[in-house]
Structure 1
Amino acid sequence: MSKCRAAVLAALFLFLTAFSAAAQDVTLTSHDGDVEIEGTLLGFDGEFYRVDTIYGEITVDASGVVCQGPGCPNLEAFVARLRVSGSATMGEVLMPALIEAFALRNGLTARREQDAPTRFTYVLADKGSGEEKARFSFHNTTTDEGFSDLLADESDIVMSLREVRPSELRRARELGLGDLTGPNRSRVLALDALVPVVSARNPLRAINTDQLAQVFAGKITNWAQLGGPDAPIILHLRAPQSGLTQTAQDKLLSPVRLSLSLGVTAHASNGDLVKAVARDPIGIGIASQSNIGNTRPLVLTGSCGFSLRASRRAIKTEDYPLTAPMFLYLPARRLPKLARDFLTFTRSDPAQIVIRRAGFVDQSPEEVSINDQGDRFANAITAAGSEVPLSELKRLVTRLGNMRRLTTSFRFRPGSARLDAQSTSNVQQLARALEAGKYDQRELLFIGFSDGQGPAAANRTIAAKRAEAVREAVQHAAETANFDKVRIGTEAFGEALPMACDETAWGRQVNRRVEVWVR
């Protein structure tokens, strides 16, 4: 054998040996030595190993095995890592505020390291020893980029201002990420809303949603068409990749089968958008309710005389039609314990206070007395037609007179009996409250309402079925609740208490709902 050939064979042997070691970089052995698992370490969350073996991917409790091999982590100095990507609206203020509050409540320090203009990391460390416990890395871009990072395995959690798209769902399944619409794969972190805004120098005070849709579709192009001066309308929106712009398409334009005009001035941030509109007396924008700057918000109206403002309560109940839930999409795999603890904290009462202070709408249920709902009942009387007699309104007032409305409401996807995304989250929220005993010794009443399309009797029947379906969903989710301590019932009033005008698709959508009342 020549020296050259021998050298080649030796190099090949070393390569194959190294490849084999890399392909099986850990061996997990039970303490009694009876079980041995070899494979490639895919991850370690501080408690469990994820290993790719010849039998497929398995998860093993670290407390029951000894790890050997070059891939074994240091159990004593484990640092939890979490990668978060997506909406800058959520990542700039809300998530940092929650992380800092979480650290404070858990004896940790939170140090922010700026890695790049759109990237930063929070380093969480023990307040006493200074030992590093976690690194939460953020990529603040857009909702689109957040899902792209998840699909490219460059992120663990997506911050999203919209629901996941069908194309993203398909791609996630193809990549082995499972069903992103499945149980516990998403949650509503907080609530925002889309608000039409103009300059303080603009005379317009209100606009109906059909007009607003036609404006941003380029069908209405002059302020004179809205009762204003003879001047062109200049459109302002976030960039097309922004979740806010995509939500505007979904909630404002799609229901009336319109598409966004090509003549829109796109802005990189909500701050840039409101500054531009504030300077532009003939401009109009759709901004985040959490930051309208020096612009003036427009009231949403309808031809039947109803008007809706983007108030905190109207957003929380989804009575305001352009409510925009702020989602976190989560991986199917286990996250490190400290990351899971943080996600649990985001649903706590202290976290809801942080969310409010950050300028967003929290999800803590509030109870609204009937005396604070005068406008709603006045609208009901005004809108009552021949199919809603005075006796039905009297029945409604008599039944609800000594009860209070919860701000937790339930609405449905257009043309479907399925709950929308925010309402799905509300099911879990109300279920956790029942499990915690917050409504023990009280009565909860699920009340169905409908739009006014079709006969009133049929609408009451449909509303009753929806109320019963929501009640069943909440009780099914509240697995550990003691239902002997709380009275739960259903009722239906159909079209008797409209929230908006029925002549528009969004108005009918707002009117189809299940409310929760308590006594």
Structure 2
Amino acid sequence: MLGSLRKPLSPRHILLISLTWLSPASAFDLEIHGSNTVGATLAPMLVTGHLQQMSEREVRSRATGQENEQVLSVRANGKSVSVLVAAHGSSTGFRTLASGQAGVWASSRPVRPGEADQVRQQADLTALESEHVIAIDGLAILVHPSNRINQLSIDTIGQIFAGKIGNWSQLGGENLPINLYARDDRSGTWDTFKSLVLGKTFQLDDSARRYESNDQLSDDVSNDPGGIGFSGLASVRGSKLLAVSDGNAPALSPNQLTVASEDYPLSRRLYLYTMGERTPEHARALIEFSLGAEGQALVAESGFISQNPIAVKPRFDDSVPESFRRLTQNYERLTVNFRFAEGRTKLDNKAQRDLLRIKHFLDQHERSSSDLLLIGFADTQSNELRAQMISELRALSVRRALAQAGAANVAYTGYGHFMPIGGSGDQRNGRVEVWIKIR
């Protein structure tokens, strides 16, 4: 049973619930702790939208006196309902969730195995009822607007932030020293950058300036002609955004399609985590709202990428084979990819919810499942026949899952290990794209 498919709780029901999992000392009805990327703008918008469903009165916001914290409250049925949003980094959110202080952990990275093990007796944080993908973000590589560099490879970015490339002239730019701007160690944005860019090959140079805030980092880069930094996509502001390439795949700029489909090599998921069956009903209702169509519309408004599918006609570059152009010439691509849990053949938690999003898209636009085409892809294999078989099996797996969600008999095919979006061995290469006929 999908956690996001239960009948939504009514505002009256929400007001009557008992929040037994919260710390008795809490002055708030719900506490959300964690990522600055999520907590700076997105989480307050989602909380505000959720509280507005409970009352016709204005939702009020006040500071706590602590930086990157705010309290959102509304008066409903004679009772004040208040929610604290504290955005001090993804790791802080896990600690407060595990202690029972927070009802929701906001994170810009997936839960770590060690963290999941710490609370496994209370809840499985990797399960569908605990792990909730609320938005897709692109890790933005930022430079000054005057910088004439337009794209970089992940390896080159790693060398820059490790201090191995120290002047823009080495990359075809101006003769200017490179100044580094990075998020702090408590940040999920830093964890993502460290994992996707630095890896085990590079270490961040000691000269890098560190920030708790995405917005402040971006503002400082936009004022430094020699600067380069990284932030969440919603914090590009006045900086220039670079396209990024991975391995032999073409460079991609983060946009609605490349980020929503997670084709962009520095795309990432933004999460809300809860404690499974121990989740307070107020937190559960907020999750339901956030994953639904109204919540996802607020995700788009906040500057992140919504998971509500839309149809897009991609712009193909010269690397796209003619056979693929013919295959998709009468189709548009939906902004969703189906991916599989690492090391498994079953769909991951996001994909489980995307099944119903596609069914809702079809119903909303009065389309049928016969309008869809699933195209499976495989990572590099020892021979083309094996790759073709794997890609078709992946597409068939999604076809069966869609049938269970109410969209039966969807057409499918495999495209082998051609058109990779990452380097060899990148899990993102093994995907299933969703296309829909042009009317």
**TM-score bracket, shorter-length normalisation:** 0.7 to 0.9
**How far is 1:285 from its partner?**
0.7
Partner of 1:182: 127
Aligned equivalents of 1:426, 1:158: Cα separation in 2: 21
Let me know the Cα RMSD of the aligned residues: 3.1
Q: Map 1:168-207 onto structure 2 (within 5 A).
A: 168-173=115-120, 176-207=121-152
The one-letter code matched in structure 2 to 1:199 is H
Q: Map 1:149-164 onto structure 2 (within 5 A).
A: 149-164=96-111
Secondary structure at the aligned position of 1:286 is classed as strand
Aligned equivalents of 2:166, 2:71: Cα separation in 1: 45
> Which ranges in structure 1 are unaligned for 5 or more consecutive residues?
1-43, 52-70, 72-78, 382-392
The one of 36, 53, 62 aligned to 1:113: 62
Secondary structure at the aligned position of 1:352 is classed as helix
Aligned equivalents of 1:436, 1:373: Cα separation in 2: 19
The one-letter code matched in structure 1 to 2:49 is A
**How far is 1:433 from its partner?**
4.7
**How far is 1:295 from its partner?**
1.4
- 1:54-88 Cα offsets, whole Å, 9 max, x none, are xxxxxxxxxxxxxxxxx9xxxxxxx9922211112
Contact 1:45/1:337, CA 8 A, preserved across alignment: no
Partner of 1:373: 314
Compared with structure 1, are the counterparts of its residues 406 and 261 closer, same or farther at alpha carbon in structure 2 (3 Å cutoff)? same
Aligned equivalents of 2:233, 2:337: Cα separation in 1: 20
Q: Map 1:95-494 onto structure 2 (within 5 A).
A: 95-109=43-57, 110-117=59-66, 118-126=68-76, 129=77, 131-132=78-79, 134-173=81-120, 176-254=121-199, 257-301=201-245, 306-368=250-312, 372-375=313-316, 378-381=318-321, 393-394=322-323, 396-412=324-340, 416-417=343-344, 424-431=349-356, 433-434=358-359, 438=363, 441-443=368-370, 444-475=372-403, 478=405, 481=406, 486-494=408-416
Compared with structure 1, are the counterparts of its residues 185 and 221 closer, same or farther at alpha carbon in structure 2 (3 Å cutoff)? same
Aligned equivalents of 1:325, 1:116: Cα separation in 2: 30
2:29 is aligned with 1:81: yes
**How far is 1:231 from its partner?**
4.2
**How far is 1:250 from its partner?**
1.6
Compared with structure 1, are the counterparts of its residues 303 and 245 closer, same or farther at alpha carbon in structure 2 (3 Å cutoff)? closer
Contact 2:162/2:203, CA 8 A, preserved across alignment: yes
Contact 1:157/1:328, CA 8 A, preserved across alignment: yes
- 1:156-214 Cα offsets, whole Å, 9 max, x none, are 110000001122112122xx322110121111111211111111233322211211122
Partner of 1:517: 435
Aligned equivalents of 1:132, 1:402: Cα separation in 2: 55
Contact 2:262/2:268, CA 8 A, preserved across alignment: no
The one-letter code matched in structure 2 to 1:426 is A
Secondary structure at the aligned position of 2:41 is classed as helix
Aligned equivalents of 1:262, 1:417: Cα separation in 2: 39
> Which ranges in structure 2 are unaligned for 5 or more consecutive residues?
1-13
- Percent identity, aligned pairs only? 27
Output the TM-score relative to the length of structure 1: 0.72
Secondary structure at the aligned position of 2:415 is classed as strand
**How far is 1:305 from its partner?**
7.8
The one-letter code matched in structure 1 to 2:122 is L
The one-letter code matched in structure 2 to 1:518 is I
Compared with structure 1, are the counterparts of its residues 466 and 270 closer, same or farther at alpha carbon in structure 2 (3 Å cutoff)? same
Partner of 1:55: none
Contact 2:37/2:189, CA 8 A, preserved across alignment: no
Contact 1:447/1:514, CA 8 A, preserved across alignment: yes
**Equivalent residues, number:** 415
**How far is 1:470 from its partner?**
3.2
Secondary structure at the aligned position of 2:320 is classed as helix
- 1:207-241 Cα offsets, whole Å, 9 max, x none, are 11211122223333333332234443221111011
**How far is 1:262 from its partner?**
3.5
Contact 2:132/2:287, CA 8 A, preserved across alignment: no
The one-letter code matched in structure 2 to 1:192 is D
Mean alpha-carbon deviation: is it higher for 237-246 or for 452-461? 452-461
Contact 1:194/1:286, CA 8 A, preserved across alignment: yes
Compared with structure 1, are the counterparts of its residues 81 and 333 closer, same or farther at alpha carbon in structure 2 (3 Å cutoff)? farther
The one-letter code matched in structure 1 to 2:61 is R
Aligned equivalents of 2:135, 2:384: Cα separation in 1: 35
Aligned equivalents of 1:490, 1:83: Cα separation in 2: 44
Partner of 1:65: none
Aligned equivalents of 1:49, 1:122: Cα separation in 2: 17
Secondary structure at the aligned position of 1:290 is classed as helix
Aligned equivalents of 1:410, 1:220: Cα separation in 2: 37
- 1:280-318 Cα offsets, whole Å, 9 max, x none, are 222211122111122111122468582211112211111
Contact 2:246/2:265, CA 8 A, preserved across alignment: no
